[in-house]
Structure 1
């Protein structure tokens, strides 16, 4: 799942853990997760931020990749 700051800087926060990243305009990060869980991810976007609520904390690994494909975080 790709999350990007299309129009300007944006803060992307992953809940319920509160892990956050700040993206510059046109920069993106990728959330890698089990495809079965994708329909349960809740995303809310506003002018300068994106909130991503992940399902089933503790039951799955969620990997955050930077725009070069390098792992920058692993949640749960």
Structure 2
């Protein structure tokens, strides 16, 4: 999939060991090994409303209320994994 230039990309990476990445409020989960990453593609105007919480072995990404926009999750090869809302 070619990146949409009107969208911004946020890289979310696992730095040490198995990491669970959860997109809320929908509860969509991805598991990454150390060194792996996924990319969240979203409208740049919504970026200030995204909340990211990090703890050992986990990352939660709180997105603005569903219906505000589409959020696209890409793998490290830039292929679409999921489309949220």
Q: Same fold (TM over 0.5)?
A: yes
Segments of 4+ moved more than 4 angstroms: none
Given the two structures, how large is their TM-score scaled by the length of structure 2? Answer: 0.87
Aligned residues: 76
Unaligned ranges ≥5, structure 2: 1-9
Q: Structure 1: where are the runs of 5+ without partners?
A: none
Question: 2: distance between equivalents of 1:25 and 1:64?
Answer: 18
Q: TM-score normalized by structure 1?
A: 0.97
- Paired residue for 1:27, among 36, 45, 50? 36
Q: Tell me how large the CA RMSD over aligned residues is.
A: 0.6
